[in-house]
Structure 1
C-alpha cells in the first residue's frame, strides 16, 4: 500500500501554490516576483530583497548527509512544529484521530486541537526503569479510534527515555495501511539509540522529525526537518507555505553544518552527556529529591518532596527551569536542561539544602 492512501483524498493531487521561485527559468534581470530592484538600507548583504529558495538545495543536501537519508525524503520547515502541523492538516479527515503518549511535547495535541482532530492519549507507564510507552495499548487505541497519526517522542520530552527501534518497527508494521508512525527525534544527538530513519526503506508509514534547535544551537533559525517517504514529502511540500526557509536562516544553518562546526557540536554533545551523568548523580544524592529519571536527552526530569520550594530556590539563584507540575503524572516534577559545567554547578548549589543549612 502506498503511503499516499493515508493522505486526505482531496490533497493527493493538490497542486498547491506555484511561486515565482518554483519556476525553472534563468535570466539576469528578475522582474517576475514584484520584488524591489534595490536592497533594503538595513540589509548589508543585499540578499534579502529576493524571495528565498522554497527548499534550499544546498541545505537539503547537507541535512540529508547529516541524517543519513535521500534528499527526496527530506522536507525543511520552520522548526519541527511546522512539520507536525502539516502532517495533521494533510492526513486527517473528519473522523480520524491523533494518538499521543503523555506526558509529552505539547505541540502534537495543539496541532490536533487546531484542526479539530480528536486526540487519543495513551499515557506513558512510570516503572522502575522510568517512563515507557505501552505499545500494545498504543496499537489498540490507534486501530479502535481510526488514528491517522501516532506521535512518538524519542528521547521523550520531558521524561527522557528513548524508544528501541524494534518497538517502533513492530508498531509501524501493526499499523501498516492504517496510520503513520511519527518519531520525534529532536534530542536524537544526545541519545545512544539509533535513528528511526533506518526503518524508512522498508516501512513507508514511518516518518522522523529532526531539528537544528537543540544540539546544533540554532533554535532562533527555526530549521526543522521531516524525513519520510518521497511521495508524502512531495504532497506536504505542496501544502506548505511558499517560502518557509528565510535566506538568512538557511545561510546560518549551512554555516552551522560545516565540518568545523559539526566537529565542535560533537564535542559539546559529549560534554552534555558527561554533565548529564554528573548532574543526575548530584541530584539523586540530595535529601529533597524524590527521584531523578534516567535520560537520553539534554535534560533531566526530577521529582521533589517540595517542588515549589525547589523551583523558587532555583529562581532565587537566577536559574530558570521548566515547571512540569501541570503535566499528567508530574505534579511534583521539574525538568532541568543540562547547561555548561558552571551552570550545572549553580543548579547543584541552589538545590543542595544540606550545604545551605550548614552554611
Structure 2
C-alpha cells in the first residue's frame, strides 16, 4: 500500500516515518466518490434503529463532514484543506506521534508541568520523551524556547509540543517565539501549538504564522469555550500535504454523525455570539476569582492565566482540596505534577460556582 512520494524533496514530508510515506490507508465505503439512490455498498442496515428518531445513524458518517469542515475553516480562518477533524485533540496528538515518530528513535518534546497526553502518546509509541521544564518566574510560568530548541536539536525530536495557553499553568507562548522556534527547527521537527484554551486568551492564534512556517501545526477543540466536550470534536490545522498523510492513517469514520450535526449547529452565527459572550464572562470571572483568592489567608500565589482556569499555590493544598470536596466542589489536584507540590487548578465556573469556591476556602468576602 506504499507508493513513491515527494517526501525526499519536501522538508515537511521528510519528517513522516519512512514506512508511511505514500501510505494509502484504508479506503472505506464513504471515501469512494460515488453517487446513487440505493446504497448497498457498506453492509449497513436498511432500517433505522427504533431509538434513532432522526434516522441518520444507520449510515456510516462522512470521514470529514463537509458542513462541519466549512464551519471550522471559517471559525479558524484557514482553508478546509488545512483541517483534520478527529475525536478531540487527543486523537490528533496520537496520530502525529504515530505518523512522525519511528519507535525507539524519534523523540517527542514537551514542557512540563503540562497536559499529560503528549507524554502518554510518546510512551505508547515507544518514542523517547524529552522534557524541558517551564520556568517559574516573577510573571508566572514560561517556556524557555532557547532551551526547547537546543534540546530538540540535541535529542532528535520530531515533534515539539507547546501548550498555549499552557495547561495547568495558564501562560501563552509569545507568537514571535513560536515563529523563531519553527524557523530554527525547519526540516528537523514539527512544532505543534496546542490552543485548546485559545479563545480565552487575548493573543491571536498561531494559525496566523503557518503561511510562513510549514512545519507549524495548531490544535484546536470545541470542548472548552464552545461547551461541546461530550461531542469530542478536535481539529488539527496543518499544511495540506501533512493533513493528507494523517488522514490516510486515521480511523475510517472518526466523526459520528450526531456529533457532527451538533458541532455544526454549535458554530452557527447565533451560537458563536453566545459563545463569545460566555468567553467574556469567563474572563471577567477569572479576574474576580484571582483577586479574591489572592487576598485569602493560606493562598501563597495565584498565577496569571489566559485560560479558563487558575493555578493556585496554597500553604496546605491537601486541606484546601478536602474542604472544597466537603462543599461539593471538585477541582484538579496538581500536587503530583512537577514543580506543583502545593498547587490546585481551579476552573472558572459561573459566578455562583465561583462564590461557592471562595466560601469553601474561607474567603474574607466574595466580590460582587
* TM-score when normalising by structure 2: 0.96
* Alignment correspondent of 2:246: 236
Native 8 Å contact 1:109 1:119 kept in 2: yes
Query: Which of the residues 173, 183, 201 maps onto 2:193?
Result: 183
The offset of 1:26, in angstroms, is: 0.9
CA distance in 1, matches of 2:158, 2:231: 30
Residues 68-108 of structure 1, C-alpha deviation per residue, up to 9 Å, x if partnerless? Answer: 10100000000000000000000001411000000000000
Describe how 1:1-359 pairs up with structure 2 within 5 A. 1-93=10-102, 94-352=104-362
Structure 1 SS opposite 2:115:
coil
Native 8 Å contact 1:288 1:353 kept in 2: no
CA distance in 1, matches of 2:319, 2:332: 14
Structure 2 SS opposite 1:296:
coil
CA RMSD of aligned residues (A): 1.0
The offset of 1:2, in angstroms, is: 3.2
Instruction: Summarize the Cα distance change of 1:261–1:354 in structure 2 as closer, same or farther, 3 Å threshold.
Output: closer
Native 8 Å contact 1:103 1:329 kept in 2: yes
Structure 2 SS opposite 1:149:
strand
CA distance in 2, matches of 1:228, 1:24: 24
Could you list the runs of 4 or more consecutive aligned residues of structure 1 that deviate by over 3 angstroms after TM superposition? none
Residues 2-24 of structure 1, C-alpha deviation per residue, up to 9 Å, x if partnerless? Answer: 31111111111000000001111
Native 8 Å contact 1:163 1:193 kept in 2: no
Structure 1 SS opposite 2:30:
helix
Native 8 Å contact 2:11 2:186 kept in 1: no
CA distance in 2, matches of 1:354, 1:293: 20
Structure 2 SS opposite 1:49:
coil
* TM-score when normalising by structure 1: 0.98
Runs (5+) with no aligned partner, structure 1: none
The offset of 1:297, in angstroms, is: 0.1
CA distance in 2, matches of 1:292, 1:246: 40
Structure 1 SS opposite 2:57:
helix
Runs (5+) with no aligned partner, structure 2: 1-9
Task: Kindly tell me the number of residue pairs found equivalent between the two proteins.
Answer: 356
CA distance in 2, matches of 1:22, 1:212: 25
Native 8 Å contact 2:293 2:363 kept in 1: no
Native 8 Å contact 1:2 1:204 kept in 2: no
CA distance in 1, matches of 2:318, 2:250: 42
CA distance in 2, matches of 1:3, 1:252: 34
Residues 96-151 of structure 1, C-alpha deviation per residue, up to 9 Å, x if partnerless? Answer: 10000000000000000000000000000000000000111100100001000000
CA distance in 1, matches of 2:316, 2:173: 30
CA distance in 1, matches of 2:265, 2:82: 22
The offset of 1:352, in angstroms, is: 1.8
